[in-house]
Amino acid sequence: MYSMKNKRIHYIQHVAYEGLGSIEEWAFTNGYLLSATRLYETPVFTNIPEFDWLIVLGGPMGVYDEDKFGWLKEEKQLIKQVIDADKKVLGICLGAQLIAEVLGASVYSNKEKEIGWFEVSFTKEAASTELFFDAPSNTTVFHWHGDTFNLPDGSTHLAYSDACTNQAFVYKRKVVGLQFHLESTEHSLEDIYTAGAAELVSGQPYIQSAKEIYEQRGFAKQNKALLFTLLDRLASL
């Protein structure tokens, strides 16, 4: 079991329709107090000593959109400070891209948009980590991204897909970036494909329709199990 001292999680939410999903259930079950910076409401950032974990969620903007979203620069500074303070950080989709950029890696448009349920494969290097040592060789997860990132120096490459080489990484044990969405629930899936309906363009190899996404929603249950194992192990560090 992990220490009961680390009981405060702060999360950064960029848009109303991309929230914690099943992470909220895990946090409440394990006695964590949650606080949030909701950038679509009031972009006010908390002080680092006020939390033990930082979770950075997804969003439709890019890490390079500082002219459109003035809070991005301050958000990046906070992420860097939290990493430097040796706290636990989990970035999902945009959150992973922000972590990668903060650590000096490039973020740019991927050759293909990847939207829907597609398989990722875990690397041999993942098996050497404390967090992913027994991850399956591959699993189907939910994606919604057009950008990708290079791996930060000193990080371990964890996963890849046919459409995107760099799907996940871990940096210095406690900092994890996931390009995909293990946290998605049936409810949150509906929220995101409703909000992003304009991106569901037919005829693209890695973009599914809303109907296809809905019909494969059963994968959310196995993704939740994988996520909870990851969170348990992060908590134990």
Parse the chain into domains and list their residue ranges.
8-236
User: 79: closest CA among 19, 37, 21?
Assistant: 37
Q: pLDDT grade, residue 47 (50/70/90)?
A: confident
Question: Is a pLDDT exceeding 60 seen at residue 118?
Answer: yes
Condensed to tens digits (0 to 9), the pLDDT of residues 149-163 reads: 999 999 999 999 999
The answer to whether 96 touches 179, Cβ cutoff 8 Å, is yes
Q: What is the mean pLDDT of residues 47-54?
A: 89
Q: pLDDT grade, residue 1 (50/70/90)?
A: very low
What number of other Cβ atoms are within 10 A of residue 196's Cβ? 16
* CATH of segment(s) 8-236: 3.40.50.880
State percent of the chain over pLDDT 90: 92
Q: What is the pLDDT of residue 48?
A: 82
Q: What is the mean pLDDT of residues 188-199?
A: 92
Alpha-carbon span 230 to 191, nearest angstrom: 24
- Over the range 19-29, which residues count as b (16 or more CB within 10 Å of their CB) and which as e? bbbbbbebbee
pTM for this entry = 0.95
Active site (catalytic) residues: 93, 181, 183
